[in-house]
Each structure stands twice: as structure tokens, then as C-alpha cells.
Amino acid sequence: MPMNGHSKIIGYLLWIFGFMGAHRFYYGRPVSGTIYFFTLGLFLIGWIVDLFLIPAMDRDAEFSFRPGPTDYNIAWILLTFLGIFGVHRFYMGKWLSGLLYLLTGGLFLIGVIYDYWTLNDQVSELNGESLARG
């Protein structure tokens, strides 16, 4: 059973879209991610500074979230690029809400925003349940 946490490579990939806050959400910083979303990465200044802060954010995420069989990287890539279709929810085994997202455009985007705020915790919870059963 692979133990996957967060990845600097995925962090930098999301940083490319970071002026929208994607990398901040990925590393479990939803408040600053939201601020970046509405200010275009703090007017691009914060976005550039984050180029150097990603290694520290990656270390913090490794201590904050539980690794396990559900891969954070896959879940985040699916949410970022296919979130309105609910593909990340299907990946996590949440079939009913995945279908609901598929039929409603991610519950009219509100569900996608919710998932940006909570995806790390959702994956941690799934990994904890899996380890408890295992």
C-alpha cells in the first residue's frame, strides 16, 4: 500500500496557476488561497514570493495531513482540472456526490469551492479510515 503525501512537483505545477491560489489550497492554506484568488496572488507579488516558499509549505503539509492509499496529488489534480465533473469525488469513492457534481457542474461551482477548502481533510479522513480497517 503506497503512502503518498504532498509533492513539490505538484505544488510547483499548481503554482503556475497560483495567482488563483491553487497551490495554497493544495498545501492546506485555504484562507490565503482565497485571498490569492480574489487578488490575483496578492497582485502577483505574493505569487512570486511563493516560488521560494513552496518547500516550506510542502514540509508543513507532510506533518499536517495523513498519508495513505488515497493519493493527495491525484485528488488535487482531478479537482483542479475536472472538479466541475466530480471526478475527484469518484476517485475518493464518493459516488453519489460525484454523480451530483457531474449533473450540476460541481453543484453550481459552490461544491468545487467547498472542496478546495476541505479536500486535504477529506483525503486525510479517508486515509485514516483505511488504516483503521487495514
- Closest to 111 measured CA to CA, from 85, 93, 92: 85
Cβ burial 37-68 (10 Å sphere, 16+ → b, else e):
beeebbeeebbeebeeebeebbeebeeebbbb
6-60: pLDDT as tens digits: 999 999 999 997 678 999 999 999 999 999 999 999 999 999 999 999 999 999 9
How is the chain split into domains, by residue range?
8-133
Rounded Cα distance, 91 and 98, in Å? 9
91-103: pLDDT as tens digits: 999 999 999 999 9
33-42: pLDDT as tens digits: 999 999 999 9
Rounded Cα distance, 67 and 87, in Å? 20
Rounded Cα distance, 31 and 63, in Å? 19
Does the model's pTM come out above 0.85? yes
